[in-house]
Amino acid sequence: MVARDEQLAMLVQPDRVHRSVYADPVIFELEMERIFGRAWLILGHESQVAAAGDYFTTRMGREPVIVVRHEDGSVRVLVNRCAHRGATVCAEGRGRAERFVCPYHGWSYDRGGRLGAVPFESGYQRGKLSELGLKQVPRVALYRGFIFASLSSSGPGLEEFLGPARASFDDLVDRAPGGELEVTGGVFKHAYNGNWKFMLENHLDGAHPAWVHASSVAVARGAPEPGAPGKEHHFDIAVRQMRQNGAPDAVWDAIGVWTTPRGHGYLGDYHSDDRLVAGMGSPVFDEYRKKLVERCGQKEADRILRVTLWNTIIYPNCSFMSQFRQLRIIHPLAVDRSVVYTYSFRMKQAPPGMFRDTVAFANVVNGTASWVLTDDLEVYERLQRGLSSGAVDWVYIGRGHGGDVDEADGTRRGNTGTSEVFIRSQMRAWLDYMGADA
Amino acid sequence: MPGEIEQFLYLEARLLDTQRYEAWLDLYTEDAIYWVPLEHDQREPFETSSIIHDDRTLLDLRVRQARHPRAHARQPLARTVHQIGNISLEDEKKNELTIKSTLVLVEFRNERQRVWGALVEHRLRRLPQGLRIARKRVDLVNSESELDGVAILF
Ligand code: FES
Ligand SMILES: [Fe+2]
């Protein structure tokens, strides 16, 4: 074990990572046990389980779980695996259930996972059945309505785990008038033949859009001018985003990228609302701002709208955009196979146009057939193919290395907005989790 | 000999399968909507996401992206076969026809072959220059499943 830990430590060096971290199935198995089996994982949002009995199925790493609202008001997370002979008791999807009944021999479980009726009960040893039930995931906690769980019964609490990265969730929620958000509008589920870490290493990478997204930048430049009075299109928001991807290098270098402890991180001043999101002059955005002022006052509304936290990564399974209200959860399936669920959030008290923007943005930028995401997926697959080769060992993550700037609360800033500081930080978190007794 | 409508749908398929996307675009009216819903029985495209929901402007951009030399997910272009069947005339109003059909599509790119199945609805408009597509809806049987990136036209 000690030998293995020393070997692991050799794989991650200050400015380079060994390719096996992305390509070795043995390491992947260890990641599932030590990272996805230990860390807090985001599972969803409380609006998905609004009423008692509401449930949805998802995964924690590769464990199938059910997230369900108990009649006592708490959110429970149950391993979706029958205590009898192991079938998943709940079909994949979502719904409302009084109890979960296994399709194989009809054992039924309440919303807390407690075993109830068992057909042919007399055939079992008395007392034995009372020990059985659906396994409850040991720790479940909410932050600002977001549901997290950990497969480990010990470790830092959720707020400590999130640390300064809480600010990004605050931003997402505070931007909603009255703080009211709901998940709605469909879920994109896109898969790729590549390692789960590629997504997390991509979303804060300011040096990639000019190359990976060159084609969508080019067509967006040729698109009708977004927001031209009388000629507004429902997809203007997406055109603005694609154009912004083609911003000059100096803009990318100036935006700022921060990391916070445990591998989280975010991009800074990439979009301000007037530059991009809906255009400060747009009637929908004005109406939205009025609503926000109505709910929290002018001063607070101004403060909220001045926050510019762009893509945020919550290590190891989440990426989100608070200004566009889009959140992605990554599920590793194998060392070279991952699937990402993309959720849209509606601000319940905002004008409908704000959510239409979110939907259009999702379709054109983050969707499975979008102009932007598809090119990222292609590159992830190219990475996997390249890193499967044993001819070269190391992956270089040295952009900005040596220039990282330490700030308060364990926050660290890249010397430029295109620094790879966030990958170095993710790899440090990776090593911490992978240690035998993290 | 297939009838006029069948011939038109086969032409659309042939243009896609021979990668003549610009000529394919010309089959669409200026106000056309090309829609591939995300959800089964999806009712509307503005409050729920879609795999593709393009008006004519976006459809033009989509084709232009596919031609871009650095469209990594699209170049080289996928090779496809669109197999159309079960064509039926559902409705005929003034100069608009509603046609239902099924689509089986084989896609090949990067050493990978995928098969798609869909229920399709065309709304065709009779114009002086011939039939044109005013609306196309493609309901993929697996639209709600976990899909690898989609960079083709259905
Ligand atoms: S496996 Fe579930 S009741 Fe037998
Ligand atoms: Fe990207």
Q: How, if at all, do strands A54-60 and A94-96 pair?
A: antiparallel
CATH of span B2-140: 3.10.450.50
ipTM over 0.90 threshold: yes
Pocket test for ligand 1, best of A107, A132, A134 (most atoms within 8 A of CB): A107
CA A102 to ligand 1 center in whole angstroms? 6
Q: Mind telling me how many Å the CA of B42 is from chain A's nearest CA?
A: 10
Task: Write the pLDDT tens digit of every residue in B57-71.
Answer: 999 999 999 999 999
Q: What are phi and psi of A156, to 5 degrees?
A: -60, 150
The span from the first CA to the last CA of chain B, in angstroms, equals 25
How does residue B143 score in pLDDT terms, banded at 50, 70 and 90? Answer: very high
Interatomic CA distance for residues A236 and A227, integer angstroms = 6
- At which residue do the structure tokens 């975010």 appear? A266
Q: Mind telling me how many Å the CA of A406 is from chain B's nearest CA?
A: 37
Interatomic CA distance for residues A89 and A106, integer angstroms = 9
In chain A, residues with a C-beta closer than 8 Å to the C-beta of B149 are 190, 192, 368-369, 373-374, 377-378
Q: Does domain A163-434 have CATH number 3.30.420.140?
A: no
- Looking at the predicted structure, is the pLDDT value of residue A274 above 70? no
Q: Which tokens is B72 given?
A: 């990594």
H helix runs in A338-401, sequence order: 352-361, 373-387
Lowest mean pLDDT: which of A62-66, A279-283, B132-136? A279-283
Q: Is A437 helix (H, G, I), strand (E, B) or coil?
A: coil
Task: Write the pLDDT tens digit of every residue in A133-144.
Answer: 999 999 999 999
Name the packing angle between helices B56-67 and A214-221 (round to 10°): 140
User: Residue A108 class from Cβ within 10 Å (0-12 exposed, 13-18 middle, 19+ buried)?
Assistant: middle
| Interacting residues of B51 by C-beta distance below 8 A, sequence separation 6+ | A363, A367, A368, A369, B36, B37, B38, B140, B143, B150
- How does the average pLDDT of chain B come out, rounded? 97
Pocket test for ligand 1, best of A80, A82, A108, A115 (most atoms within 8 A of CB): A82
3 state SS for A293-314: HHHHCHHHHHHHHHCCCCCEEE
The order of strands in the sheet holding A181-192 is A405-406, A412-413, A257-260, A264-267, A312-314, A318-321, A326-334, A337-347, A181-192, B147-148
Interatomic CA distance for residues A289 and B39, integer angstroms = 31
Among chain B, residues having any CB pair with chain A shorter than 8 Å are 36, 38-39, 42, 46-53, 55, 57-58, 61-62, 64-65, 68, 70-74, 110, 144-151
Interatomic CA distance for residues A152 and A401, integer angstroms = 33
Fold of A41-143: Rieske Iron-sulfur Protein (2.102.10)
Interchain pair B49, A363: CB under 8 A: yes
Task: Write the pLDDT tens digit of every residue in A320-369.
Answer: 999 889 999 999 999 999 999 999 999 999 999 999 999 999 999 999 99
A-B contacts at Cβ under 8 angstroms: 108
The domain limits of chain B are 2-140
Q: Is A102 in the pocket of ligand 1 (CB under 6 A)?
A: yes
The CA–CA distances, whole Å, from A77 to A45, A141, A215, A412 equal: 13, 10, 42, 34
- Looking at the predicted structure, is the pLDDT value of residue A270 above 80? no
Q: Is A82 in the pocket of ligand 1 (CB under 6 A)?
A: yes
Q: Is A30 helix (H, G, I), strand (E, B) or coil?
A: helix
Query: Model-level pTM?
Result: 0.96
The domain limits of chain A are 41-143, 163-434
Task: Write the pLDDT tens digit of every residue in B17-48.
Answer: 999 999 999 999 999 999 999 999 999 999 99
